[in-house]
Structure 1
Amino acid sequence: MLSDDLEEKVDFDAVKKEISEGELDIRYIRIIYEGLTEEEIKKLQKQDDRVEVKDKKVIAPYPSDSNPLYQDKATGILYLPA
């Protein structure tokens, strides 16, 4: 589900479904963003202090409420090993 093409959007409905069905553990999911403003990055960091900024990409934990901010700027999902 990791995308290099900004035109290809993340299917958050599929991710939410897999979480609700117990197929994914929310603790090991990260969202990859590109094109966020400084203000948007700060808002994500305020939501969770584990947000990382690397090479113009932002990697943020999947929020516990399953409603990620800035879904239109998400370019991929990263699944960490359990």
Structure 2
Amino acid sequence: MIRVGLKPAFRTDQPSVEVSALNGDHRGYAVLVNHSAQPQNVTVFTNSGARSISRIAPEGPKPVQTEGSRWKMELGPYEGAIVEWK
């Protein structure tokens, strides 16, 4: 296998939490899924250049506090979440 030094736009510190990116011009979405039967407190890392992160909720976007290029969030068992980055 050849490694070319590419890093994913988003990654987590929990192996049971998958994250995928939908990228646009200067904004996009990260889709997270907890594949575990246990709730997960997860740290999400990004190299997307995001200046702000909001979790998409039924009542509208909710700002997420970031620490540099990472943030923390909780996902329930088998729960998914969508976050918007700008």
TM superposition score category, shorter chain reference: 0.3 to 0.5
The structure that has the greater radius of gyration is: 2
Q: Which has the higher helix share?
A: 1
Q: TM-score, normalised by structure 2?
A: 0.36
**Bigger relative contact order, structure 1 or 2 (CA pairs below 8 A, ≥6 apart):** 1
Q: Which has the higher strand share?
A: 2
